[in-house]
């Protein structure tokens, strides 16, 4: 990229969207993506650590009880809405259109567009929440004993707040601000932890009463997340211009794109919702959703910290290349993103499989969480972990299609993956319980990634497949080398304590993987370690 000299006085007069683009022009695309991904990953890691503490609190007070299953099902509804209408489909539809608007000669175009979408989204979400609450009140008249319905009624307004916060986070990403959106989930984790611990110790609450406290904390967290994003927008001097101009061509384009994107980008979340509902119905003791929730969080830990961070950081770049019709650059950026995603997810996959039982024992087995729960969660975690590389790749490939505005293709593939997952759920839940549901998720992810990769290859200039597959082979070889000491630690009679196994194996495995990657001359390691 050719660096352009920018006069300080002129730069200061630019709008935030233009100023961010000018600053970004001074660094390479690769440096920009890695630097942004590193920031997102660091903040997401902090959030996931808090999430780990939150899951430990769940284990202490709820174990794998039916009341925790009810809470997980109730929380899935607003959380799925966040994926569909917030950081998922809306952001994927909004970012390419907004990226084009930033370069418009009319400097008010981008703020007006952002304000229109914000206003329209807010009105839509308020209407959905009101309709949903009315439906829940009717349902409670027929099932007044249902804890799931009661918890859902309390947390449903969280859907509106978290979706608005996710949209504002996507807007901040296009302005080159990744910190506040990545830090936002920490507010949820902190408030839920505080509500449960304070409720138990200071007020003596137990079981269902503690879950009600957690539901109230979730609602407060939604308000706090919106406030954080608005403060961040104010800090970069970007003013949302509220209006209901949904007839503007850009707004109509975003709404049109969102339809198929709802399914395309949210296949993993739809599969997760199907997993939990099928587990709740077909696993007799009512503990299936609680078990899957622990396993789901564990495999999402490395995926959220690294895989989704890379996809989030690279999406504005993909949209920019596609808008400028720089197809060679777009193809190259996707290939680099795939290499980086695989490099990070492969050791995570191997590590979680080998350390599933010691990790679950160390993190959760206390209080109401017993040994039987450890065995069930560990089996599900092993099966989920088999697909970790495919989950990370799926997020990146879907965003590549949305940058190309080929959203219909991604939607059709996602619909097929959801059908495969649900069919396999019914087939495997009987003989394998939660592990069968997790295995169905893996197979559907493999199907989706394979189809997306084949279709993407037809639409773009050829990637450097030799370099891509060579990098994947070296990452796999380094992970195999890493597996030897990790397996020895977990199987050796010298280390019988699960906590000691985890303490030794996690940093030891990471060090071995880094050294092996260095010996194999993996360039991805240098990209991650290089400072901006």
Model confidence at 94: pLDDT above 70: yes
The distance from CA 49 to its chain's CA centroid, rounded to whole angstroms, is 15
For 492-510, the pLDDT digits (tens) are 877 788 999 999 999 999 9
The pLDDT value given to residue 41: 67
Packing angle, helices 249-264 and 267-282, rounded to 10? 40
Across 299-303, 412-416, 452-456, 472-476, least confident range: 299-303
Tokens of residue 246, six digits: 């949904």
DSSP 8-state symbol, 462: P
Share of the chain above pLDDT 90, in %: 33
The pLDDT value given to residue 109: 75
Residue 3 in domain: no
Residue 391 in domain: yes
Across 94-108, 135-149, 359-373, least confident range: 94-108
* CA separation, residue 454 to residues 73, 140, 393, 457 (Å): 35, 47, 13, 5
Q: Decide: helix, strand or coil at residue 27.
A: coil
The 3-class SS string of 406-438 reads CHHHHHHHHHHHHHHHHHHHHHHHHHHCHHHHH
Residue 204 in domain: yes
Q: Decide: helix, strand or coil at residue 496.
A: coil
Mean pLDDT of 220-231: 91
DSSP 8-state symbol, 106: S
Across 78-82, 158-162, 436-440, 499-503, least confident range: 78-82
Tokens of residue 182, six digits: 């990545």
DSSP 182-220: HHHHHHHHHHHHHHHHHHHHHH---HHHHHHHHHHHHHH
512 burial (CB, 10 Å; 0-12 / 13-18 / 19+) is buried
Model confidence at 5: pLDDT above 70: no
For residues 71 and 155, what is the distance between their CA atoms, to the nearest angstrom? 10
Number of domains in the chain: 1
Mean pLDDT of 200-212: 90
- Residue 160: which region, alpha, beta or left (left: phi > 0; alpha: psi -120 to 50)? alpha
469 burial (CB, 10 Å; 0-12 / 13-18 / 19+) is exposed
For residues 287 and 298, what is the distance between their CA atoms, to the nearest angstrom? 17
Q: Decide: helix, strand or coil at residue 25.
A: coil
Mean pLDDT of 408-426: 87
Domain range holding 452?
A: 8-529
Q: What's the CA angle centered on 50, arms 49 and 51, to 5 degrees?
A: 90
Q: What's the CA angle centered on 251, arms 79 and 23, to 5 degrees?
A: 80
The pLDDT value given to residue 484: 93
- CB contact set of 242 (below 8 Å; sequence gap of 6+): 115, 118, 119
As a dihedral over the C-alpha atoms of residue 336, residue 338, residue 344, residue 348, rounded to 10 degrees, the angle is -170
Residue 126 in domain: yes
Q: 251 vs 382, which has greater pLDDT? A: 382
Q: Which of 29-33, 159-163, 374-378 has the highest mean pLDDT?
A: 374-378
As a dihedral over the C-alpha atoms of residue 518, residue 520, residue 526, residue 528, rounded to 10 degrees, the angle is -90
Residue 2 in domain: no
Model confidence at 428: pLDDT above 70: yes
For 160-205, the pLDDT digits (tens) are 998 888 888 878 877 777 777 777 888 999 999 999 999 999 988 8
Model confidence at 4: pLDDT above 60: no
pTM above 0.85, yes or no: no
The distance from CA 144 to its chain's CA centroid, rounded to whole angstroms, is 34
Residue 1 in domain: no
Q: 68 vs 170, which has greater pLDDT? A: 68
Mean pLDDT of 463-491: 89
Confidence of residue 8 (pLDDT cuts 50, 70, 90): very low
- 271, 421 contact by CB (below 8 A): yes
Q: 174 vs 262, which has greater pLDDT? A: 174
Q: Decide: helix, strand or coil at residue 226.
A: helix
């Amino acid at each position: 990229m050719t660096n352009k000299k920018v006069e300080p006085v002129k730069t200061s007069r630019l709008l935030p969207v233009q100023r961010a683009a000018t600053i970004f022009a001074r660094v390479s695309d690769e440096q920009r993506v890695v630097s942004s991904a590193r920031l997102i990953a660091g903040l997401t890691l902090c959030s996931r650590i808090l999430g780990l503490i939150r899951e430990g609190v769940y284990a202490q007070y709820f174990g794998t009880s039916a009341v925790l299953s009810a809470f997980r099902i109730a929380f899935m509804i607003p959380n799925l809405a966040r994926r569909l209408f917030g950081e998922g489909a809306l952001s994927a539809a909004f970012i390419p259109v907004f990226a084009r608007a930033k370069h418009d000669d009319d400097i008010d175009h981008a703020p007006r567009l952002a304000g229109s979408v914000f206003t329209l989204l807010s009105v839509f979400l308020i209407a959905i929440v009101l309709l949903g609450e009315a439906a829940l009140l009717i349902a409670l008249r027929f099932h007044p004993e249902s804890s799931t319905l009661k918890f859902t009624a309390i947390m449903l307004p969280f859907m509106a707040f978290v979706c608005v916060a996710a949209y504002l986070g996507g807007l901040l990403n296009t302005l080159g601000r990744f910190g506040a959106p990545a830090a936002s989930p920490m507010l949820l984790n902190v408030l839920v932890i505080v509500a449960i611990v304070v409720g138990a110790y200071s007020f003596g609450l137990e079981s269902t009463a503690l879950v009600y406290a957690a539901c109230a904390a979730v609602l407060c967290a939604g308000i706090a997340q919106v406030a954080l994003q608005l403060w961040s927008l104010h800090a970069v001097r970007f003013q949302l211009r509220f209006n209901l101009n949904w007839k503007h061509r850009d707004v109509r384009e975003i709404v049109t794109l969102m339809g198929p994107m709802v399914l395309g980008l949210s296949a993993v979340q739809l599969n997760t919702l199907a997993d939990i509902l099928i587990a709740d119905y077909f696993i007799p003791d009512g503990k299936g959703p609680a078990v899957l929730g622990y396993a789901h969080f564990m495999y999402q830990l490395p995926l959220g910290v690294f895989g989704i961070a890379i996809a989030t950081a690279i999406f504005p770049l993909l949209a920019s290349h596609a808008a400028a019709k720089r197809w060679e650059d777009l193809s190259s950026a996707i290939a680099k993103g795939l290499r980086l995603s695989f490099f990070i997810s492969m050791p995570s996959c191997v590590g979680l499989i080998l350390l599933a039982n010691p990790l679950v024992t160390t993190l959760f087995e206390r209080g109401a969480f017993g040994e039987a729960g450890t065995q069930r969660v560990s089996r599900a975690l092993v099966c989920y972990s088999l697909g970790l590389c495919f989950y990370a790749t799926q997020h990146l490939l879907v965003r590549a299609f949305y940058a190309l505005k080929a959203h219909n293709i991604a939607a059709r593939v996602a619909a097929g993956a959801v059908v495969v997952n649900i069919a396999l759920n019914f087939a495997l839940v009987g003989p394998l319980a939660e592990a069968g549901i997790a295995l169905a998720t893996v197979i559907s992810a493999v199907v989706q990634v394979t189809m997306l990769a084949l279709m993407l290859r037809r639409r773009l200039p050829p990637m450097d497949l030799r370099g891509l597959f060579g990098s994947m082979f070296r990452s796999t070889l380094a992970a195999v080398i890493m597996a030897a000491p990790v397996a020895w630690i977990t199987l050796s009679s010298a280390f019988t304590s699960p906590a000691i196994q985890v303490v030794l194996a996690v940093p030891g495995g990471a060090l071995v993987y880094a050294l092996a990657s260095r010996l194999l001359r993996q360039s991805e390691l240098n990209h991650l370690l290089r400072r901006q």
